Amino acid sequence: MLEVNNFFIMQQLEPFTDRIDAGRQLAQALQHYAGRDDLLVLALPRGGVPVAYPIAQALRAELDLMLVRKLGLPNQPEFAMGAIGSGGVRVLQAGVPGLMGVTQDEVDAVTAIEQAELARRERRYRGDRPPCRLAGRCVILVDDGIATGSTMLAAVEVARRQQPARLVVAVPVAAQDALDALRPSVDELVCLVAPARFRAVGQWYRSFGQTGDEEVQTLLAQSRDAASQPYREEPR
């Protein structure tokens, strides 16, 4: 593993089997946080949840969600022009509005649509449960990968507003430019692979199907159930 200040890149060469496999490998790179009583793992739904689940299990940490939404270009929604997060946070790419002819009205229209989806997910995933407290805690933000970095930057901004004691971003794969943009904003950045020629996050997974709402809810429930049980160390 290469280490440069707060920046770690593992020498991962083969694609991950799936998101759970990626999470298990990422958990090994985060073992220095295992057992902390202030630790909180926050997954970016939906794809970040199956990555974060084995991390929370391995580190014996509480698992919850960091709700953010990508803002896609009006005519090319797969390309991010920014992202929004809880609490009214909006992060836009440099040049937006204006980039590829996008107007302020179009940015606002896409934002409104994604804010409605953010609210829907909040209701479905949390129900009556309040969000976890971040203040004074060691928080690890997890996603299944980072392309442009706008979504994770929004997540970092949401988290920073709640004053965690330490903020970590951990992902299996990311574009180098996105990592460079994130690095000044976090206390530690852990990534298993940052390919020189990044094309897409899914390129680094053998199985990269869409994560559904039911899977998110199931993994969160399993994590809460596990947290309610007394910890038993595995026999050696």
Could you report how far apart the first and last alpha carbons of the chain are, in Å?
26
More confident residue, 135 or 94: 135
Q: Is residue 10 scored above 80 in pLDDT?
A: no
Q: Is residue 181 scored above 50 in pLDDT?
A: yes
pLDDT in tens, 76-92: 888 888 888 887 888 88
Instruction: Provide the whole-model pTM.
Output: 0.84
What CATH number does the domain located at 2-227 have? 3.40.50.2020
| pLDDT for 7 | 53
Round to whole Å and give the CA distance between 67 and 22: 21
Round to whole Å and give the CA distance between 172 and 23: 7
DSSP 8-state assignment for residue 212: P
Percentage with pLDDT > 70 across the chain: 91
Q: Where are the domains of the chain?
A: 2-227
Which of 88, 112, 80 is closest to 201 using CA atoms? 80
